[in-house]
């Protein structure tokens, strides 16, 4: 068995609203809100990095779980905006968590999967916790440094923000039991969403929406059908927070009210692989850290990679 034991997140303190970003890229703030559903986003300070954000989200998760880092057997870190080719942020985050009890030598693995990386990390952790007992999954991004904050980068600069989220997946106990997950990859459209070594983020928005809009609901239905469940039985859907329009389209495809989808994209924008875990952490806290109905987590991102995870309430 695998359980979701606790969630945590960290958001930088600097708030960048639509008026500020619109002035940089040359668009109307009101249009920006209508087009994306985003009103503001957070930007990391010059002193903050992918690793420092990730470590703070991980510590928040461990504190919420009320366990020592010594109980963590494996760390999985997803990021598409790491400052270096290698090493990725995973080992740096592990080192930063030593004061929280993480043992020296604890394996820390990078998953350089933008947007969908946290979902892939959760799916892997559900299997790996049998060997490592407690797996800490982290999604952390500083996307504000991956885009051009001028008119040439308008299509991406208006969407992205910075932040980190974390989830402790345990073989022992938790608030939710991981029932099943599905993950998929298809490189045919890999070039549509990419961050090259020597350039800013490139996104062919039309291609991405045409791929994401059908693939996300199909993955959700796949994991539900495999477990004889219906979309109408799900209490909450927590998706990668790409933009409000995509979330609404997925809800329509599934035939469920969009109100059933937890959404914080208005406040944080698209934080890539961090967004799923930030949203899950906020949903969990707003619900009083209780679950009364099954939830579905879903994501789509660069690669192309996508998938869904089904979890059910667990009271021990």
What are the φ/ψ torsions at residue 69 (nearest 5 degrees)? -60, -20
Cα of 12 vs its chain's centroid, Å: 16
Instruction: Please report the domains of the chain, with CATH numbers, ordered by start residue.
Output: 3-170 (3.40.47.10), 176-313 (3.40.47.10)
**Angle at 90 (CA atoms; ends 133, 201), nearest 5 degrees:** 130
Q: Which long-range contacts (CB under 8 A, 24 or more apart) does 190-197 make?
A: 190/302, 190/303, 190/304, 192/304, 193/114, 193/115, 193/301, 193/302, 193/304, 194/302, 195/80, 195/81, 195/114, 195/146, 195/302, 197/85
Rg (CA), the chain: 18
> Is 111 in contact with 76 (CB distance < 8 Å)?
yes
pLDDT per residue of the chain (316 residues) written in tens, 0 to 9? 999 999 999 999 999 999 999 999 999 999 999 989 999 999 999 999 999 999 999 999 999 999 999 999 999 999 999 999 999 999 999 999 999 999 999 999 999 999 999 999 999 999 999 999 999 999 999 999 999 999 999 999 999 999 999 999 999 999 999 999 999 999 999 999 999 988 899 999 999 999 999 999 999 999 999 999 999 999 999 999 999 999 999 999 999 999 999 999 999 999 999 999 999 999 999 999 888 999 999 999 999 999 999 999 997 7
Q: How far apart are CA 27 and CA 313, in angstroms?
A: 44
Cα of 69 vs its chain's centroid, Å: 22
Q: How far apart are CA 167 and CA 57, in angstroms?
A: 9
Give, as one character, the DSSP assignment of residue 231.
G
Distances in Å between the alpha carbon of 71 and those of 52, 95, 126, 136?
21, 15, 16, 10
What are the φ/ψ torsions at residue 304 (nearest 5 degrees)? -80, 140
Q: How far apart are CA 16 and CA 268, in angstroms?
A: 9
Give, as one character, the DSSP assignment of residue 270.
B
Q: How far apart are CA 314 and CA 259, in angstroms?
A: 24
pLDDT digits (tens, 9 = 90+) for 151-204: 999 999 999 999 999 999 999 999 999 999 999 999 999 999 999 988 899 999
**pTM greater than 0.85 (yes/no):** yes
Residue matched to tokens 């009210």: 257
Distances in Å between the alpha carbon of 216 and those of 44, 140, 251, 297?
29, 22, 10, 10
**Angle at 50 (CA atoms; ends 58, 201), nearest 5 degrees:** 135
List residues bridging with 166 in a β-sheet. 8, 138
Q: What is the pLDDT of residue 315?
A: 79
Closest to 192 (Cα-Cα) out of 225, 151, 158, 156 = 156
Q: What is the pLDDT of residue 141?
A: 98
Q: What is the pLDDT of residue 198?
A: 87
């Amino acid at each position: 068995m695998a359980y979701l034991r606790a969630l945590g997140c960290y958001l930088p303190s600097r708030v960048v609203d639509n008026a500020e970003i619109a002035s940089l890229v040359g668009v109307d703030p009101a249009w920006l809100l209508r087009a994306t559903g985003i009103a503001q986003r957070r930007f990391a300070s010059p002193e903050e990095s992918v690793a420092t954000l990730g470590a703070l989200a991980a510590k928040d998760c461990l504190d919420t779980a009320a366990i020592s880092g010594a109980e963590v057997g494996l760390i999985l870190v997803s990021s598409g905006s790491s400052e270096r080719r290698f090493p990725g942020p995973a080992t740096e985050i592990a080192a930063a968590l030593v004061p929280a009890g993480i043992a020296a030598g604890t394996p820390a693995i990078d998953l350089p999967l933008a947007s969908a990386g946290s979902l892939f990390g959760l799916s892997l952790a559900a299997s790996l916790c049998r060997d490592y007992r407690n797996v800490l999954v982290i999604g952390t991004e500083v996307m504000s440094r991956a885009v051009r904050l001028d008119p040439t980068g308008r299509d991406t600069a208006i969407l992205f923000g910075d932040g980190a989220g974390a989830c402790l997946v345990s073989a022992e106990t938790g608030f939710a039991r991981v029932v099943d997950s599905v993950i998929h990859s298809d490189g045919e459209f890999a070039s549509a969403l990419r961050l090259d070594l020597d350039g800013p983020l490139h996104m062919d928005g039309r291609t991405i929406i045409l791929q994401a809009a059908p693939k996300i609901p199909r993955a959700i239905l796949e994991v539900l059908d495999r477990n004889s469940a219906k979309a109408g039985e799900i209490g909450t859907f927590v998706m990668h927070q790409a933009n409000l329009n995509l979330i609404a389209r997925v809800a329509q495809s599934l035939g469920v009210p969009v109100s059933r989808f937890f959404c914080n994209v208005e406040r944080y924008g698209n934080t890539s692989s961090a967004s799923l875990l930030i949203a899950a952490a906020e949903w969990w806290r707003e619900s009083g850290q209780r679950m009364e109905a099954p939830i579905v987590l879903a994501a789509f991102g660069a690669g192309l990679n996508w998938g869904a995870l089904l979890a059910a309430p667990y009271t021990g």
